[in-house]
Structures are given as structure tokens and as C-alpha cells.
Structure 1
Amino acid sequence: ALSDTGRQSVAVSRMDDPRPVSDKAYIKKSINSLYKYLMNSGYDHPITIKSLHLPSAKDFNHIVTFLLRRVDPTFNDGSSSIKFEDEVTLAFKLLNYPFTISKTGLVAAGSPHTWPALLAALSWLVELLQYDEVLEGSTNEDKNDDFENEENMKDVVNDPEKMVKRKEKAFFTYLLDAYESFLCGDDDRYDQLEEQLISVFEQDNVLIEREKEQFMEVTLNILEMMEELDQKGSQLPELENRRENYCDDLEKFRELERQLNEHKEALESKVLERKNDLQRIGNDLETTTQQVSRLKEIVGSQALSIEDEENMEKERKVVEETIDRIMAEKTVHNNNTWENEMKLSRELENISSTLQAYNSKAKQLRIESDTPKTSNENQLLLQLDRDRVSKGEKSIFVYGLDINEIREALGKLKEILSGNSTEAKSKLLEVLDEEDTSEEILSEKDDEVKALDSRLKKSDELYNRETEELRGAIAVLQNETKTIETKISSIRDPVALEAALARHECEHTELEALRQEKMDEYALRKSAVTAEIVRAVEIMTNHKEYVQKRLYMHNEYIQVSLESTEQLDTGIIEELDSM
């Protein structure tokens, strides 16, 4: 569109540029507009706002070529022998640019005295391109407005603004075509256009009438539903009573569900503890089995006497008898624990059933006595809290006191709970400090345990190494003994044989005694290190459990105090509102 309209007239009058092309603010605004348009239009060369203040001749060439090719795709494509400066000047003349562009300025485009005028020309070209894009988009939008489609007609009926727009557009289209037919003297086409306009309005009237009938049907249905609801309104009191009964049953069911969930969680925690104990015992058993296997290998490689074997057999029988006795005691203990837990569960269920029956009777008593409802209407009710029952506490709710006495008692209780809450918070901070100290002590103990483990590992390695050395020495002595026995048998000298045997027997006895001494020494050291490690672990475990128990107690106390304070505040506010 721009190329067609631009080439219609070349001869235009030139005048001075009234724009402030040398003003810094105008230059900055033009640069920002040019940069934004280039970025949004897919300019394929690197460019920045800073480079647009004084661009190079190459950048200016790329920018002008990009903009003018949006008007004429053949601009500066190398097919013409015209110079770039002449082609740019000619293009702006064909586009009816009202000001003169200097060819000398195009050669030195980036100089300070020529760039402002060229920047103003580029801004004018950008505005022209933007106008052309807006005009083309508006034309396409008018082409895309299809009101003959049934779905579009439904949208028009539902939207009065679209219907008015459609009628106005149809009327102006009719007016334009009718005026053209009037100028051309085409009466037949004029009558046809009038009939088309009438058909458009009649079609809208039909659609509106159809929509009106649908609304009337919906309105009649709504009125019938309202009449049915009015007729059913007499059943509302009975339904409300049934709803209250259902709500009471639902609260009882939820309370029972909560108690069952608590009991289930307690049983699950106990099962988890038993599983952990079983896994720990299995791990200990596996470790013990590995140690026994290792000791059997060590014992099998050693030269034991008959007395040693008999002693070991006796010790094994004693250990087996001890294990059997302990397992029997464990089984009895587990059975007793299970029976006690089941008995406790049954007792708690009986207590819960009794309390439910009591609460039901208390509600009936309050209703029959015509007692006015207040914010403390649940004073006669009792609830079973398993945690508080296990601690020996009771939940007692008193009803029937004077409102002033209740308010005074609640105020005092609130002050006490606030003081207890503050004291509990301070204690919690102290416990947290103790926990930090305990963590540091625990870290130190962990380091000590690691050091003891390292010492134990080194002791085991030294024990194994020296054992191997003793075994090697014994093996060497046994080989030497066999060699000497062979030599003696060949020599047949009884005296030398007895002397050699006595000497080797003595050396063997000394080595065996040394080996036994080393084994006893390392066994004592190993048992001492193991006992020290076990003691350190027990100390750390006990301390950690103590800290966690104290934290849990303080957190629970603070939570209960806060909840009691909130309930007291809520009760006081409701009582004041009721007064």
C-alpha cells in the first residue's frame, strides 16, 4: 500500500523542517522509538541504544535497507546500478517525504551535524510503517467479521453491543452501496440492497424473539420450582430437627473415630518399636554369628588340648542354657505385656461407652429443665482424654455459677495462664540452651567414640598381625622340628634326638605362653575399649532422650496454655456479647 501510494506523486513542494531535530530530548525519543520498532520487527543485525546515538555508515546502511525493504522488497538488492545514496534519496521522494535529504549527509551518516536530520527521516519512516501496519490490520479485521455464521449470530444475540455494531455496519454498508448504485443509476441493485438490509433486521428480530421465548420458558420453570419450594417449606422444622440429630450423631462418631485413631496410632507405634527391637536383635544376632564364625576359624587354626575343648564345650552348654532361659523369660514378658495392653484397651473402651451414655443423659437433662443456653452450655458434659487419663487427671466442667463469679474466675485464670505461659517460654529457652550445650557435649562424645573405635581397630589389627607372626613362627619351628626329626632318623642317634626334641619343645612352650599372654592382653584391652564405648553411647542416648522429653513436655505445656487462653478469651467475648 505504501509503495503504490508513494509512487503516485514525486513532485512535492519542499519546506523547512519544523521539528526540533537538534533537541536532545527529541533525539533520545526518536532513538528509543527506532530501537523499539527494530527489535519488534525482527531486525537481524546487532544493535544497541548507545550505538544509535552516532551509528557507523555500515549500521546506517543496514537500518535504512531493513526499513525500506518493508516498503519495497527489491530495495538495495544489488540488481540496480544506482548508488546507495541516490537510491535512498529517490525512495524518500517517492514516499513523499516533505523535506530534503542531503546525499553528502548520507555519505557521512554518523557525523554529529548530519545524524539528527537523518534520524528525523528514519522516525518519519517508522511512523509511516506503523500506520500502514495498523491500517492493514483494521482491513483484515473487517474481513474476518463474519456475521452470517450461526455461532457468530448466537454471540451477537447474547451481546447487545455486537448486535448494535452489526446493524450499524450493515446500515453503513447498505448506505455506501446504495449511494454508489444511485450514482450509477442502478435501481435494480438498489432494491436488492434494500431487501438485504430488511432481511438482516428481520433475521435479528427472529433471533431476539426466539431468545425471548427461551427466557420465558426458563422463567416459568423457575416460578414452578419456587412454588414447589414454598410447598416444601412446611417440612423445614422437621428437617432441621433431623439435621440437628444427625449433627449430634456425627460429633459422637467423630469423637469415637478420634479415640480409635489415637489407639491405632499407639498400637502402630508399639508395633514399630517391636519391629525395631526385632531388627536390632537380628542385627546383633548376625554380628554375634559372624564373631562366632571368626572365632571358630581362629580356634580351628590353633592347636588346642583336650582340656581346652572340654572347657569350651562346658562354656558353650552354659551359654546355650542361659540363652534358652532368657528367651523363655522374654516370651513370658511379651505375653504379659500384650495381655496388659489388651486389658487397658478394653477398660478404656468401657469408660468411653460410659461417658457417652452420661453425656447423652446430661443433654436430655439440660433440655428438659428448660435451662437457658449460654456460651458455657457444655459445662455438664465430660470427655475422655486418653493422655490426661494416663496422667491421672480429669476434665471437669462446672455449670450454674453467677456470671460475675465466672468472669472474675476467668480473669484470674487468664492471668495465671499468661504468667505460666511466660514462665514456660522462659523455661523453653533454657531447655533450648541446654539442648545446644548437650549437642556440643554429644559432638565431643561422638569424637571420643570415633577415637575409641579407631584405637579398637588398631588394636585388632595389631592383635591379628602378631597372631599371624606367632603362627608363622610356630609353623617355622614345626618345619624345623620335622627336618631335625628326619635328620635324627637318618643318623639314628637317640641322645641328639632327645636333646633336640627337648630344646624345640621348650621353644614351642615359650612361644605358646607368649601367644597366650598376648591374646589375654589384647582381650582385656578390647573388652575395656568396648565397655568404654558402650558406656559413652548409653550416656549420650540417655541425655538425648532426657532433652527430647523435656522439650516435648514444655512444648505440650505451652500449647495447652495457649489453647486455654484462647478459649477463655473466646468465652468472655461471647458472654459479653450475650449480655
Structure 2
Amino acid sequence: MERGRMSRATGSRPSDLPMRVQDSNRMSMVYTTPQSKFGKLSIPKPQSGTSERRTSFFGARTSGAGMPRNSIMSGFGGTEKIKDARPLHDKSFVQQCIRQLHEFLTEQGYPGTLSSKTLQSPSTKEFVKMFEFIYRQLDPTFEMPNSKVEEEIPALLKALRYPFVLSKSSMYSVGAPHTWPQALAALVWLIDTVKINWSLMKQDLLFSDFCEDSDSIEEGAEYNKLFLDYTAETYSKFMQGDDTFEEEDEAFLTKLKKLYNVDEAMLVSMEEKHRMLSKEVEQLEKESQTDRLMTKRMEKMKLQADLKKLQSYRSSLETFEANLEKKASELDDELDTTVSHLETLKHERNELQHLLQNQKFTPADVERINREKRELQQTISSLSKSLEDAEQHKWNEEIAFAKAKEKAELKLAEYHKLARKLKLIPQSAENACGHDFEIRPSECGPGSMVQYKMQIQMRLRKLISDVEEENSRLTNANLSLEESCEQVNFDITEKSNDVKQLREQIRKLDERLDFDMQEIAREEQEWAAEIESVENHCKLLEKKVNYGYDEAVQQLKAAQQEYHLVLQETNEERRTVANNLASVFTTAADHLSITEKCLEDLHRQVQRVCSKAVEEDKAAVQKLRETLKSFKSKANSL
């Protein structure tokens, strides 16, 4: 029977029997320990993921409002079968039971193999191994018999007062879909029994007079006397038909406060402070999640920052536009100067043409000038043709020379590559022996190339002879090493036989050592059991002392989580701003490069047109000047 102390779980009822009517106004602090309720503010701790998944594997209570009180213990004393109210054919319930079984076996170091397939439909042998492992947590000396297992397991469950019947026929096909949920539920019930047994083993006797730690207030005789009086009084009223015990609760609570010197003012202030902090945390969480005004303000700040960046970009573009206009004005001035110069040349050409037209020549002079002109043109055409032939010949020779030079460079590159692979280049290489095998076409002329080649060939022949001598020497050394290796292998064979004999002796010694180690391990297990009981007692004391410290650590973790959340949001905003800045700068740089390219193309077109016009005008003026000079020379000769 569980010890008559106050349960740790907040909100459980003090009576040992079920209530007939649910009372929502029940005092939640009646079943809390004095240290956890009166010493510090009781703040519920967050439950772990496994504890949230726990389900009560005991069936619904058979006693209730519609049953007489004398039927409460009928399930334990009579032969009436209790109907299993657990949803054994619900897949979610079965999976939850499988997870709990897997967690328990893994935590306790189950020696067999655990897999999802094994726990979904195990064989009878695997079920027996799991049952034996769990039952050994209750009785370490238990050994499963080799025969009649289908009778032994139901008998053991019945001896442990398992409230439901597990038939013998179900043991023959445990993994079947209609029998495995019942066997699984029995294993889970057995696990709960093991955990209850562990919790009872950790507790002390009913009265602290027989314990070593009799100076503990909670475990003292005064506390036990108060609790037993309260239990007896409430149970007597419960048997008379009452379901609420508000007066007894208040009296018991008053006595506990008086016993433990509870400061109610401090409790009220701490509860008010906790309520205010909880309300502030909820408000902050709501503001961080649904504050649309703050979101719009942040968007406004981002847009204002973007507007400032665009304004600065616009001012830079205006400055760039002013520079471009200045360059364009300079180009216009240069173009005007070129046009004026062109006009001057045209005016000079007109004057020369007018002078040419006003000259007076006889028909014979004109015929002679035309004949000389045709002769000069023929001479010019013949000279131009010879010049083109000479340029074509020169071009062909240059192409042939370039091809020959390219072939020579390829061969030279292959020679250098092979020489580097053979470690002949550079002069300080491993196989160069201080000689320079590198060929430098820029240093040796056409005449000295043959001599340079002969020198390199002589050095290479000498190097080949040295390599052959070294190879023969290494071959002889290799033969001698092979002979010595054969001798060593023979010695190794003899030593291996000796090693086998030594290993046989070592094996015998190991068997003797294993036997001694088993004896030592058995003694260590006994000592470990005693040490574990002492450590459990120490852990219980530490848990009582460190309760307030755990609460402070949890508050610190909550504050750190909130800080990390704010820090993550700040980093995300910084990354967003950086990405926006990068996109704006990229767009500006692309626009600037496109504008510069367009202006450069325009400038090249203007230069091309101007240069073409100037060249055409210069060619015409030069031609006219040469004609005028020839006419003047002929006129002077006449």
C-alpha cells in the first residue's frame, strides 16, 4: 500500500476513493508538499515530451455515483471479471503503448534487438524475453522456465493482481492482430507496476521515528499525525455520503501553515507578482506577434531609408549628367573647329580650281599634258602592281616563318616538359648534376644551336650510363635483400609456432581470469546495490534543496530564449536591409555601365565621321596641289 503522505501532483484529490460528483472548487493545494507550496511560489514546471504522452493504463474506476459503496473493493476480493475499458483496438493507443514499451526497454538496457517491426508483431519467444526482462526489475532472481510458458505468464500476472484476464491460448500466437494489443497492455501495466515499486523503494517508513533522518519536518511524526487525522476524518464523512470536505481542508491547511510557519503575506505578494509577470509575458508575446502598427512603422523606416538612398543616387546621376554635358560641349567645340578648318580647305580648293580654269593653254599643250598624264598613270599602275606583289611575297614568307617558329617552340616545349619530368631542369634539379639542360633560343644564335645541341646530347649520354650503373647496383642489392628476406621468413615461421604455444597458455590464463572476474563482478553488484540505495537517498535530499534553484534556472532559460528570439529577429532585419542595399547598388552600377557604353559608342561614331571627312578633304587637296605643282613646272619650262 502506498505510503500515507501528500502526493506531489498538484490538483489530485486527498481521498483514497473516487468522487461521485466532480467539484471544480476543490482546493488545489491540499495534495502538495509543504516545501513546494509554502516555501516558494508554486509555478507549474513544463512537462517533458514523454510525460505529455503518458496515458493511464488502468481501466476506468468501477465505483461511481450510481454504485453502492460496498462494491468498491469487489474487483479485488470476488471472482467477478472486470471489463477492460482501455481502447485496445485503437491504433493510436497501441502505437502509444509501443513507444512507452520501447522507451522503457531502451532506458533499462534491454539486451535483445529492438525494432519497429519486432514491436509491431513480435513472436512468442520475443514476448517471453521482454516479459522476463521487465519482471526481473521486480525480482532480480527470477528465471523463466523452459516449459509451460503459456501457463506461467498468466499465473505471474494474476499473482501481481493484474485486473484483467490474459488467456493461455493467446500465448501461442502473441503477435496476432487480435491478441497482441492485450499482451502489449499487460506489458505496459507491468512497467507501471515496476515504476510504482521503484517509487515505494525510495520512500521511508510510515513514521519517521524509525528512520535515520528523523529531524526532517515533512517526514516527522507531527506531519504524519496531522495527515492521518485528516484522512480518517474525511474518510468517515465520505462513507457517510459526503463528497466535499471544505471545512476539513481549511482546518488541515491552517494546521500545516502553523506547523511550517508559513508567511501568507509573502505568498500573496509572490502570487501577485507571478500573475503580473505572466500577464506582461503574454502581452509581450501578443505584441511581438500581432503588433501591426510596429510592423508598419518598421516598413515606413525601411521605405524612408530607401528614399534617402534613391535621392543620393539621383544626385550622383545629376553630377554624372553634368560631367557628360561638359564633355559633350568640349566635343562640340572640337567639331566646330574641325568644320571651320574644313571650310578653309574647301575655300582653298575652290580658289585653286578657279585659277586652273582661268589658265590659257593651246590644244597641243592640252594634248601633250593628257599624254603625259596617261603615261604617268600607266607608270603608277605598274609600280602599284609590283608593290602589291612584293607585299604578298613578304606576307607569304612571314607566314612560313611563323609556322616554322611555332613547330620549333612546340618541340622545345615538349623537350622542356620531358626534362622537368626527368628532373633535369632547372640546373639545381635532382638529376641535373649541376648541368644546365635548358635550351634558350633567345641566347643562342642560328650557328651555335648545333653546338648547343651536341653539348646537351653528350651530357644526356653520360647521365644514361650513370643511371644504368646505378640500376645494376640496385639489382644486385635487391637479390641480396631477397635472400635475407627468405631467411627472415623462415625465422618468422619458427617464431609463429612458439607464439601459438604462448597463446594457448594465455587462453588458459584468460579462462581462469574470467572466472575470477565473475566472482569479483558478483561482489561489485552487491556493493553497487547498496551504493545505489544511498545515492537515491542523497538525490531525494538534493531534490528538496534544489527546488528553488530549478525554478530560477527555468526563469533564466525563459529569459535567454526570449533574448535569442529578439536577436534572431534583429539579425533577420539586418540581412533584409543588406539584401535591399545590394540590389539597389547592383541596379545603379548596371545603369551606369550601360550609360557609359552608349556614350562611348556615340563618341567613336563622331570621331569616325570627322576623321573620314578630314581624310577625304586632305586627299583631294593634296591631289590638287600636286597637279598645280606639275602645271607650274611645265609652264616654267615652256
Query: If the TM-score is normalised by the length of the shorter chain, which range does it land in?
Result: under 0.3
Structure with larger Rg = 2
Higher helix share: 1
Task: Flag the structure with more relative contact order, 1 or 2, with Cα contacts below 8 A and sequence separation at least 6.
Answer: 2
TM-score, length basis structure 2: 0.26
